[in-house]
Amino acid sequence: MVTFAYTIAGSEATGGAGFQVDLKTFQQLGVYGSGALTCIVSFDPKNNWGHRFVPVDPQVIHDQIEAALSAQDIDTVKIGMLGTPATIATVAEALSSQKWKNIVLDPVLICKGQEPGAALDTDTALREKILPLATVATPNYFEACTLSGIEKLESVEDLAEAARRVSELGPRYVIVKGGIDFPGDEAVDVLWDGEKITVYSEPKIGQERVSGAGCTLAAAITAELAKGTDIHEAVHVAKAMVTSGIKARVEAHTPFATVWQGAYQS
């Protein structure tokens, strides 16, 4: 029997992040993917690869979700970049049209290279309308600070505290990704499952940011949960996929290389 997973995310035209990464990750883990596009991001090569961002009309977002959820029995969804308060309201309403087993929220506030200020109203809408519906959230360093109110994450205990605080906003499971901003030689992620912290650590591969790592991690967790994998094992698989994908990263003319999901072998 085929396992389905759904993604509600933005297109990043170079294939290094967002919707494209989600579908590649689902496929690599043997899960049939479909999804709704929330926005289209086209980096501008003539303007330092700045983000050209076009939101999809809310009615069109609604229609895409209606089509997929009517066509197939889908109980697991990943939510990536939403981008505007209007999109967030539409997605929140669409999610409430059925029951879900897993709602994995990658709380994308800003992308690499974007201005932090632009995210404030989106941040508020995400916190109020989507986080309470999520069963899993995967904030990165910056998103964990913003959502938890902690200024700096300097130790594993800080990551753990941020995860616990984000969990109080709704999601039962929170994975905080330390990434390149977390001090030290290890890429550390922590999972708070409501009772205890599990630490996932791998040596950092280089000191440069890689595009698509966060999307890949959340999409891989989503695919594994869709298959019925337990959350601790799902994060373990996802971390292994991201690590192998960064080792095999694809260089580009953009400021960041991107994760290669095809490198992962289970």
Per CB under 6 A, residues contacting ligand PXL are: 9-12, 17-18, 41, 80-81, 108, 111, 214-215
Min dist CB 32 to ligand PXL, Å, is 21
Q: Which is nearer to ligand PXL, 17 or 92 (CB)?
A: 17
Q: Which is nearer to ligand PXL, 40 or 197 (CB)?
A: 40
Q: Which residue has the tokens 């409501």?
A: 194
Closest CB 197 distance from ligand PXL, rounded Å: 25
Minimum distance from residue 10 beta carbon to ligand PXL (Å): 3
Distance CA 222, CA 193 (A): 16
Closest CA to 17 of 110, 102, 86: 110
Smaller CB distance to ligand PXL: residue 12 or 189? 12
Q: How far is the CB of 108 from ligand PXL (least distance, A)?
A: 5
Residue 80 beta carbon to ligand PXL: minimum distance, rounded to whole angstroms: 5
- Closer to ligand PXL by CB, 86 or 197: give it: 86
Considering beta carbons, is residue 80 or 171 the nearer one to ligand PXL?
80
Paired strand residues for 79: 8, 105
Q: Minimum distance between the CB of residue 165 and ligand PXL, rounded to whole angstroms? A: 22
- Closer residue to ligand PXL, CB minimum distance, 14 or 28: 14
Q: Which two tokens stand for residue 14?
A: 């170079």
